[in-house]
């Protein structure tokens, strides 16, 4: 019997209301470990709201969120981070005055400080060595070694996106939420980004990704959930999603579903 993937992140009946508007309506999804799970839908479908509920940025009106089997619905983003949930944001967030290496190191250092705040003032030699090892590993994985001492403000958009990914890889995170990580990348950069994500999940890390680039989604995702008007309308493997009449109708008049 084939073993099922370990549970990673689960949303169970998540509903989010803003006054009379229901932005996410009874959404249930699972992003297992060692897999890339996609969350797609046309503009205004409720993807960002659902993503925010999973990450702790948006409190659900109903339903629960579970991380590695633990109910984390009432926990802050920081508390979820300490339990292994890392994320990137749609709007790139780097410290331009810091080097690439220093930006990446923040992923590891934030985790140490979050568990024991005084470590920002008095880190141990073991902490420093571990941070350096994790940073070097993340830089290598993302092909950023030659840019390690470059100021983040001098990077291209594509390079900056890789620094964001390296930063979250340097942290003690085993489940990643990636919010439109290919935004601003050209085709070659997007393809390389997808290759890196497949390498990451091969180590057992789980990924839930919100993404508009359907070529990337269809290439890297093992399973895809489709939202429209706050409701899940379809889920399945990439080939089934592309063949679904429901999905095609949701994207009617949009160029987002084109895979080329």
The answer to whether residue 98 is domain-embedded is yes
Mean pLDDT, range 12-27, rounded to an integer = 96
Q: How far is CA 193 from CA 26, 133, 138, 178, 218, in A?
A: 32, 22, 13, 12, 14
Pairing of strands 231-236, 206-210: unpaired
User: Do residues 106 and 148 both lie within one domain?
Assistant: yes
Asked whether the predicted pLDDT for residue 88 surpasses 70, the reply is yes
Does residue 112 register a pLDDT over 50? no
- pLDDT tens-digit readout, 31-55: 999 999 999 999 899 999 999 999 9
Whether 88 contacts 169, CB under 8 Å = no
pTM of the model: 0.87
pLDDT for 106 equals 87
Q: Tell me what the pLDDT averaged over the chain comes to.
A: 88
Instruction: Say what the pLDDT of residue 115 is.
Output: 44
| pLDDT recorded at residue 72 | 98
Q: Are 166 and 142 in contact (CB under 8 A)?
A: yes
Q: pLDDT tens, 193-228?
A: 999 999 999 999 999 999 989 999 999 999 999 999
Least confident of 13-17, 146-150, 187-191, 225-229: 187-191
What is the chain's alpha carbon radius of gyration, rounded to the nearest angstrom? 18
Q: Identify the pLDDT of residue 256.
A: 67
Does 26 map to a domain? yes
Are residues 118 and 70 part of one domain?
no
* pLDDT tens digits, one per residue of 149-162: 999 999 998 899 99
The answer on 250 and 210 residing in a single domain is: yes
Whether 92 and 48 map to the same domain: the answer is no
Which range of residues forms the domain containing residue 137? 88-173
Q: Is residue 190 included in any domain, yes or no?
A: no
Buried b (16+ CB within 10 A) or exposed e, 238-260: beebbebeebeebbeeeeebeee
Q: What angle do CA 9, 74, 23 make, to 5 degrees?
A: 70
How high is the pLDDT of residue 4?
56
Q: pLDDT band for 30, please (50, 70, 90 cuts).
A: very high
Whether residues 228 and 159 share a domain: the answer is no
Enumerate residues 6+ apart whose C-beta is below 8 A from 85. 9, 55, 56, 67, 72, 173, 175, 176, 177
């Amino acid at each position: 019997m084939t073993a099922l993937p370990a549970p990673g992140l689960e949303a169970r009946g998540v509903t989010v209301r803003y006054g009379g508007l229901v932005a996410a309506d009874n959404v249930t999804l699972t992003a297992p470990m060692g897999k890339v799970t996609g969350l797609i839908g046309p503009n205004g479908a409720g993807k960002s709201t659902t993503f925010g509920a999973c990450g702790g940025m948006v409190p659900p009106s109903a339903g629960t969120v579970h991380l590695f089997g633990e109910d984390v619905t009432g926990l802050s983003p920081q508390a979820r981070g300490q339990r292994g949930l890392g994320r990137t944001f749609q709007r790139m967030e780097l410290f331009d005055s810091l080097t690439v290496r220093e930006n990446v190191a923040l992923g590891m250092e934030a985790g140490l400080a979050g568990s024991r705040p005084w470590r920002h003032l008095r880190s141990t030699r073991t902490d420093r060595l571990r941070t350096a090892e994790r940073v070097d590993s993340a830089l290598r994985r993302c092909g950023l070694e030659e840019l390690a001492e470059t100021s983040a403000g001098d990077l291209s958009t594509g390079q900056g996106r890789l620094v964001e990914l390296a930063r979250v890889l340097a942290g003690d995170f085993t489940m990643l939420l990636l919010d439109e990580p290919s935004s601003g990348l050209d085709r070659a950069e997007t393809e390389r980004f997808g290759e890196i994500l497949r390498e990451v999940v091969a180590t057992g890390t789980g990924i839930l990704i919100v993404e508009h680039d359907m070529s990337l989604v269809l290439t890297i995702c093992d399973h895809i959930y489709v939202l429209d008007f706050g409701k899940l309308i379809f889920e399945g493997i990439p080939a089934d999603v592309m063949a679904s009449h429901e999905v095609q109708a949701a994207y009617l008049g949009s160029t987002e579903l084109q895979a080329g």
